[in-house]
Each structure stands twice: as C-alpha cells, then as structure tokens.
Amino acid sequence: MREVCRTMETALRKFWRGVREWCGDTAYETYLGSARQPDSSCVRLTPEEFYVEQLERKYSRPNRCC
C-alpha cells in the first residue's frame, strides 16, 4: 500500500510540473536557472521586472491577425 501511495504521489508531482510548464508558470524559475550559468553575464531580474519584460516582448511585435 505504501508503494502505491509513493507511485501515485510521484505521478501527481510530474503531472503538476507538466501543467505548470505548459501554462508558463515556471518561466521565471527557468530564467533563474539559465542566469546561474557561469558564462552568463546578464543581470538577474526581479519577478516583477521579468513579468514586465515578458509582456513587452510579447506585445511589442505587430499583430497582424486581420
């Protein structure tokens, strides 16, 4: 029974991680992971600055839907 609970917990954690990645909730954590690289010379942004930069990047391009 204990093994079934562990397997179920592992499966649920993987599922939840996948949902977070799919909806973009892990973008800042991924950014921090890449900013920790030794050859990275970028300045780390706060979560608020990162959010604003992502919005600017997304909406600064022309939208030609029509």
Of the two residues 8 and 66, the one the predictor is more confident about is: 8
- pLDDT per residue over 9-57, tens digit each? 999 999 999 999 999 888 999 888 887 766 656 778 899 999 999 999 8
Q: What pLDDT sits at residue 62?
A: 77
Q: What pLDDT sits at residue 38?
A: 67
The ranges assigned to domains in the chain are 2-59
Quick one: pLDDT band at residue 58, thresholds 50, 70, 90? confident
Question: CA dist 39 to 3, 34, 35, 59, Å?
Answer: 42, 10, 9, 29
